[in-house]
Structure 1
Amino acid sequence: MEGRLRFPVKPSEQEESCLRYYSLLDEAIAELAAKLPAYQLVVKSKLYALFTLLSRTFMEQQATCKPAEPYFVNRDRFKTLIQRVESNFCDKITVEQAAKQVSLNPFHFCKLFKKLTGRTFVEYVNVCRMNEAERLLRESNDTVTEIAALVGCDNPNYFTRLYKQYKGMTPSQARK
Structure 2
Amino acid sequence: MSETVSLTYGSEEGDFYMQHIKRTEPFERTNHFHGTYEIYYLLSGQRAYFIKDRTYLISPGDLVFINRHDVHKTSDVGQPGHERVVINFSDTFIGKDHPLSDPSLFNVFRQPAHVLSLKLQDQIFTQTIIGKLHKELKEKATGFETYIRLLLVELLLFSSRYAERNDAVVFEHASPLHKKISEIVQHINCHYQQPMTLSGMSEQFYMSPYYMSRTFKEITGFTFIEYVNMTRIREAQKLLRETDRKIIDIADAVGFENIAHFGRMFKKLSKQTPHEYRKHQR
1:146 deviates by 0.5
Does 2:171 correspond to 1:86?
A: no
Instruction: Tell me the residue number matched to 1:128.
Output: 231
Note the 1:136-147 alignment, pairs <5 A.
Answer: 136-147=239-250
Does the alignment pair 1:111 with 2:214?
Answer: yes
Q: Choose which of 163, 171, 175 in structure 1 pairs with 2:266.
A: 163
Deviation at 1:71, TM superposition (A): 2.7
1:153 to 256, 260, 263: 256
Answer yes or no: is the 8 Å Cα contact 2:247–2:274 preserved in 1: yes
Would the aligned equivalents of 2:263 and 2:274 in 1 still touch at CA under 8 Å?
A: yes
Task: Tell me which residue corresponds to 2:205.
Answer: 102
What is the alpha-carbon distance in structure 1 between the residues aligned to residue 202 and residue 181 of structure 2? 10
Summarize the alignment of residues 44-63 of structure 1 with structure 2, pairs less than 5 Å apart. none
What amino acid sits opposite 2:241 in the alignment? R
User: What RMSD over aligned residues (CA atoms) do the two structures have, in Å?
Assistant: 2.1
Quote the sequence identity (%). Answer: 31
CA–CA separation in structure 2 for the residues paired with 1:164 and 1:173? 10
- Contact 2:266/2:273, CA 8 A, preserved across alignment: yes
Q: CA deviation at 1:80?
A: 2.8
Corresponding residue number in structure 1 for 2:40: none
SS of 1:74's partner is: helix
The amino acid that maps onto 1:98 is M
Report the number of matched residues. Answer: 111
Q: Is the 8 A contact 1:81 1:101 kept in 2?
A: no
TM-fit CA distance, 1:166:
0.9
Structure 2 CA distance for aligned equivalents of residues 130 and 163 of structure 1:
6
- Deviation, 1:100, is 1.3
Provide the rounded CA distance (Å) in 2 between the counterparts of 1:92 and 1:134.
19
Q: Which residue identity lines up with residue 106 of structure 1 in the other structure?
A: P
Q: How does 1:67-78 map to 2 (within 5 A)?
A: 71-78=174-181
Between the aligned partners of 1:70 and 1:150, the Cα distance in structure 2 is 32
TM-score (norm 2): 0.37
Please tell me whether Structure 1 or Structure 2 has the larger radius of gyration of its CA atoms.
1
Consecutive aligned runs of 4 or more in structure 1 exceeding 6 Å deviation: none
The one-letter code matched in structure 2 to 1:127 is M
* 1:91 to partner: Cα distance: 0.5
Residues 27-46 of structure 1: pairs in structure 2 closer than 5 A: none
Cα displacement string for residues 121-151 of structure 1 (whole angstroms, at most 9, x for unaligned residues): 0000001000000000000110110000000
Unmatched runs of 5 consecutive residues or more in structure 2:
1-169
Would you say the 8 A contact 2:213–2:223 is kept in 1? yes
Cα deviation, residue 70, structure 1? 8.0
Question: In 1, are the aligned partners of 2:266 and 2:274 still within 8 Å (CA)?
Answer: yes
